């Protein structure tokens, strides 16, 4: 892998040329997701899903990343990261890339996916192809379901431009004529209620076969005249506004976090405008009018050839009538150690149990808490929750435990982005059941994934625990790759107990037996382990670092990795999303390879491996990515695997990712990614499929 312009070995490691801008790196990840929509080895509806995930990712990118950059510019408070790029420069580059990729996205949709779906009998019927029967059905549906809940807003001096909610579907309408009050402004806004589906299936008896739909926008276009009685609709065009959705609470001024958060959630719907999407056939004078209303410039305008709210098409990807167009379903396995045991706690007491979701079932984690709730010998349960959903089985178990008289303490991170409202609801539900609910630490998000059970066994109090790299969300556990450890290890359970005491009570950070935790010991320990590999390489000993995370943006960690690479340490980084490190720079990072795996599952697990020649190799599982926020501003847990068999297993699983030559993308030193392809003398290796084959149903004994 050759860099565009090799850097001399003497270059300072804080030189901005050695770092990739984090927002531009995030864009590269989104582009890799979009590329999956073109992969013909992926089933057709799954390809559509990847295209829609790109839309969803870009929504969040604008709501958070772009909004943050615009705020820095507006308040003249630029944050200059290690890459040295000014916010205004980043915004200009983002606009250039995103305009190109959005145009490409709609081209893929219109020219590739929709025709392929039509060949499979899945059609989205445009107005010009409506039969008389479909037109009559649309009219009846519009009059019965749409017209009663739509509220057109005429624009004049008494009716200024309305405040439109974030990402809502709206129409700008040009009118001719004079209304009952003598108004003739000629413009109106028609918001589409969120309660209405954006895609409506045509009754089968009205079609020639297959699954056919019409868009709500087509219905509104066809019957806009009916909403403005006595006037003529000259034109009607859809648009959507994206707003700043980042919460801006000043933690120093918050007396009641829950109350403050409720106020911020309402404000999120009406934050500053950051992007305007408009149908590409909208006349320039109307586009300009909308830009002026939202105080946006041409770079913030995106003209699209299709629906402006593509994420509402997700329902189509779940069609059960076309199973051959979706991934073949599989049943996650349950390990033998749990199947053979009558008691979950006895099984965990005999040996630790490691699970790799979604290939292995999340059910044992739910059962761990459910049985703790029902077991008379269990006295207390302590749990952290970041994302779970208010109606999850995990929360059901905690509610049951509290109602059964057990001491239940739950540390809920209310500020988990876009899950704040759900977390407020589950906090209320747990409090109503009698659980003690703690909202974490102001200024430090609680991101650790921990559950602790205290059980009386033969007049002795025994602790059992679950630790994970992912969230307590059963739905995510079917889609995300994450590790879970069920353990009765005394020292590890004592460490978890100490961490809960820090979170719930007050006091100095207590020394841990084996667990590393942010913001206290994790950064220092990681740096020391990197330095140890560097020292071993300089001494002529074998050295190797393998890291699997979702993001690598912390410049201090990157500099440490650069120094290790210069010393000769082989470094393999598996980074799904943002990576600010530039690999392959001569004399700096030529011993570092960075790959991203994009596939059926979202790669979410965090694994840190250090060869540690001369001592025992070290392998950790963690909740933390290698970002400044994770290492310095969050409560994170990092725990070692000590069982040799488990270490070998996880190393082999890491090896599958390092051998992947079908779904792996290699980061180049210029910040771009190249997808690997099997060489003529290589067998294809698809890591996710191999892990599914290895860890799936063959492990189950019937």
Query: Which positions are catalytic?
Result: 447
- For strands 516-518 and 544-549, give the pairing: unpaired
Does 289 count as an annotated binding residue?
no
- Cα 304 to Cα 96, 269, 360, 502: the distances in Å are 15, 23, 41, 51
Q: What are the backbone dihedrals phi and psi of residue 478, each rounded to the nearest 5 degrees, phi first?
A: -90, -15
Neighbours of 459 (CB within 10 A): 5
Kindly state the tokens that stand for 661.
């030559």
φ/ψ (deg, to 5) at 647:
-60, -45
Using alpha carbons only, give the angle 247, 626, 555 rounded to the nearest 5 degrees. Answer: 95
Element (H, E) at 400: helix 393-403
- Other Cβ atoms closer than 10 A to 458: 6
CA atoms within 13 Å, Cβ hemisphere of 551 = 22
* 151-to-160, 239, 362 alpha-carbon distances in Å: 15, 16, 45
Q: Is the C-alpha dihedral spanning 483, 487, 493, 497 positive or negative?
A: positive
Main-chain dihedrals φ then ψ at residue 304, nearest 5 degrees: -120, 145
576 is in an annotated binding site: yes
What's the chain's length in residues? 702
DSSP three-state, residue 80: coil
Q: Which of 522, 627, 673, 682 is nearest to 1 (CA)?
A: 673
544 is in an annotated binding site: no
**Buried-state track 35-66, b at ≥16 Cβ within 10 A, e below 16:** bbbebeebbbbbbbbbbbbbbebbbbbbbbbb
What tokens does 9 get? 């070995």
Q: Is 30 known to sit in a ligand binding site?
A: no
Specify whether the CB–CB gap between 451 and 424 falls below 8 A: no
- Beta-carbon count within 10 A of 643 CB: 15
Is 229 annotated among the ligand-binding residues?
A: no
Dihedral in degrees, nearest 10, Cα atoms 279, 284, 285, 289: 60
Calculate the dihedral angle through the C-alpha atoms of 373, 374, 375, 377, rounding to the nearest 10 degrees.
60
Q: CA 562, CA 542: separation in Å to the nearest integer?
A: 17
Q: Does 57 belong to an annotated binding site?
A: yes
What whole-number distance in Å separates Cα of residue 214 and Cα of residue 124?
6
Residues in contact with 373: Cβ distance below 8 Å, sequence separation at least 6, in sequence order: 381, 397, 398, 400, 401, 404, 406
Q: Which residues pair with 608 in a beta bridge?
A: 547, 620
CA angle 665, 671, 672 (to 5 degrees): 45
- Residue 394 sits at the vertex; the CA angle it makes with 391 and 400, to the nearest 5 degrees, is 90
For 177, other C-beta atoms within 10 Å of its C-beta total 13
Question: Which residues share a beta bridge with 355?
Answer: 484
Residue linked to tokens 């302590």? 382
Cα 181 to Cα 193: distance, rounded to the nearest angstrom:
26
3-state secondary structure of 348: helix
Vertex 304, ends 301 and 306: CA angle to 5°? 150
Q: CA of 167: how far to CAs of 97, 170, 173, 278, in Å?
A: 21, 9, 18, 12
Annotated binding residues for ATP, written as ranges, equal: 57, 480, 576, 604
Annotated binding residues for Mg(2+), written as ranges, equal: 387, 417
Annotated binding residues, written as ranges, equal: 57, 387, 417, 480, 576, 604
């Amino acid at each position: 892998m050759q860099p565009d312009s090799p850097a001399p070995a003497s270059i300072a490691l804080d030189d901005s040329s050695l770092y990739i801008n984090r927002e531009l790196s995030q864009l590269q990840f989104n582009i890799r997701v979009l590329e999956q929509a073109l992969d013909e080895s992926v089933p057709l509806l799954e390809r559509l899903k990847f295209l829609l995930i790109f839309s969803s990712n870009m929504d969040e990118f604008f709501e958070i990343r772009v909004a943050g950059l615009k705020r820095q510019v507006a308040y003249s408070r630029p944050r200059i990261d290690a890459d040295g790029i000014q916010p205004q420069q980043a915004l200009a580059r983002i606009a250039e890339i995103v305009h190109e990729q959005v145009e490409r996205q709609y081209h893929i949709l219109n020219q590739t996916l929709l025709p392929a779906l039509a060949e499979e009998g899945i059609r989205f019927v445009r107005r010009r192809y409506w039969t008389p029967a479909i037109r009559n059905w649309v009219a009846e549906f519009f009059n019965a379901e749409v017209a009663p809940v739509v509220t057109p807003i005429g624009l004049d001096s008494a009716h200024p431009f309305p405040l439109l909610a974030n990402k809502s579907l709206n129409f700008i309408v040009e009118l001719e004529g004079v209304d009952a009050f003598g108004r003739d402004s000629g413009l109106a806004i028609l918001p589409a209620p969120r309660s209405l589906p954006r895609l409506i299936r045509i009754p089968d008896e009205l079609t020639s076969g297959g699954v056919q739909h019409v868009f709500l926008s087509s219905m509104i276009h066809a019957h806009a005249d009916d909403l403005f009685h006595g006037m003529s609709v000259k034109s009607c065009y859809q648009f959507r506004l994206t707003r700043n959705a980042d919460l801006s609470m000043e933690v120093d001024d918050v007396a009641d976090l829950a109350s403050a958060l409720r106020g911020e959630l309402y404000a999120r719907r009406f934050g500053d405008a950051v992007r305007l999407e408009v149908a590409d056939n909208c006349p320039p004078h109307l586009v300009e009018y909308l830009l002026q209303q939202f105080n946006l410039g041409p770079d913030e305008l995106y003209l699209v050839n299709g629906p402006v709210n593509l994420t509402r098409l997700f329902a189509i990807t779940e069609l059960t009538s076309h199973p051959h167009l979706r991934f073949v379903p599989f049943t996650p396995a349950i390990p033998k150690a749990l199947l053979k045991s009558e008691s979950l706690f006895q099984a965990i007491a005999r040996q630790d149990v490691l699970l790799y979701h979604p290939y292995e079932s999340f059910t044992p984690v739910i059962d761990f808490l459910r049985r703790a709730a029902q077991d008379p010998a269990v006295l207390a349960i302590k749990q952290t929750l970041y994302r779970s959903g208010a109606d999850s089985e995990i929360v059901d178990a905690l509610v049951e435990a509290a109602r059964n008289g057990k001491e239940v303490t739950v540390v809920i991170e209310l500020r988990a982005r876009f899950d704040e409202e759900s977390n407020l609801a589950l906090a209320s539900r747990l409090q109503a059941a009698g659980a003690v609910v703690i909202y974490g630490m102001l200024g430090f998000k609680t991101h650790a994934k921990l559950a602790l059970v205290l059980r009386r066994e033969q007049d002795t109090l025994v602790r059992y625990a679950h630790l994970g790299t992912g969230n307590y969300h059963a739905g995510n556990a079917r889609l995300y790759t994450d590790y879970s450890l069920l353990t009765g290890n005394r020292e590890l359970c004592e460490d978890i107990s100490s961490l809960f005491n820090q979170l719930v009570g007050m006091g100095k950070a207590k020394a841990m037996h084996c667990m590393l935790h942010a913001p206290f010991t994790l950064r220092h320990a990681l740096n020391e382990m990197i330095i140890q590999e560097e020292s071993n390489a300089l001494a002529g000993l074998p050295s190797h670092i393998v890291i699997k995370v979702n993001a690598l943006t912390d410049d201090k960690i990157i500099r440490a990795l650069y120094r290790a690479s210069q010393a000769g340490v082989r470094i393999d980084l598996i980074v799904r999303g943002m990576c600010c490190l530039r690999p392959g720079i001569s004399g700096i990072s030529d011993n570092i390879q960075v790959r991203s795996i994009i596939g059926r599952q979202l790669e979410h697990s965090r694994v840190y491996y250090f060869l540690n020649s001369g001592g025992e190799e070290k392998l950790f599982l963690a909740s933390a990515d290698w970002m400044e926020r994770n290492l310095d501003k969050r409560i994170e847990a990092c725990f070692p695997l000590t069982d040799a068999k488990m270490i070998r297993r996880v190393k082999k699983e890491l090896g599958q990712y390092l051998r992947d030559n079908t779904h792996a993308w290699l980061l180049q030193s210029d910040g771009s990614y190249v997808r690997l392809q099997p060489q003529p003398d290589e067998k294809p290796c698809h890591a996710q499929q191999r892990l599914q084959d290895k860890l799936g149903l063959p492990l189950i004994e019937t």
